[in-house]
């Protein structure tokens, strides 16, 4: 089952940022698929690999988004950036948790955590940025 689904209404009207959001959704869904796979084999390494891919992708994505916000002298830049930093801390904490705990003990809730981690920021801070730069939408 897919965890996150791209919707056209998510579009920020910026091709590069939209592309990165879609890529993040793809990476999160891949990790979710791995979490759901209840195999005997330990898939902790693959989950950790997927989470570190997310960390790399999201770091690059935040840098681009912050550059766009600065270029447009976006008023909410400092609070938006602060939330990016909080999200980076959270994904690092999540990686640590998976490193220290057997996946079978945390399977439940792990995907939900990942889903919330991505979609809350996306549907609040990123949407506000979108509305500010495209006030007619």
Contact positions vs Fe ion (CB under 5 A)? 65, 125-126
Contact 10, 61 (CB under 8 A): no
Of 101 and 123, CB closest to Fe ion:
123
Please give the residue whose beta carbon sits closest to Fe ion in the complex. 126
Of 68 and 106, CB closest to Fe ion:
68
Q: How far is the CB of 65 from Fe ion (least distance, A)?
A: 5
Q: How far is the CB of 87 from Fe ion (least distance, A)?
A: 8
Of 21 and 32, CB closest to Fe ion:
21
13: Cα within 13 Å, side-chain hemisphere: 11
Q: Please, what's the b/e burial string for 85-99 (b: 16 or more CB within 10 A of its CB; e: otherwise)?
A: eebeeebeebbeebe
Contact 50, 32 (CB under 8 A): no
Q: How far is the CB of 20 from Fe ion (least distance, A)?
A: 7
């Amino acid at each position: 089952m897919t965890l996150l689904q791209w919707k056209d209404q998510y579009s920020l009207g910026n091709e590069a940022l939209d592309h990165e959001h879609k890529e993040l959704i793809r990476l999160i869904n891949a990790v979710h698929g791995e979490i759901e796979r209840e195999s005997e084999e330990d898939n902790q390494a693959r989950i950790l690999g997927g989470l570190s891919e997310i960390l790399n992708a999201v770091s690059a994505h935040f840098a681009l988004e912050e550059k766009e916000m600065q270029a447009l002298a976006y008023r909410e830049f400092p609070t938006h950036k602060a939330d990016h930093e909080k999200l980076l801390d959270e994904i690092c904490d999540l990686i640590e948790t998976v490193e220290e705990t057997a996946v079978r003990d945390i399977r439940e809730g792990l995907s939900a955590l990942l889903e919330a981690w991505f979609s809350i920021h996306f549907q609040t801070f990123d949407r506000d940025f979108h509305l500010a730069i495209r006030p007619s939408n």
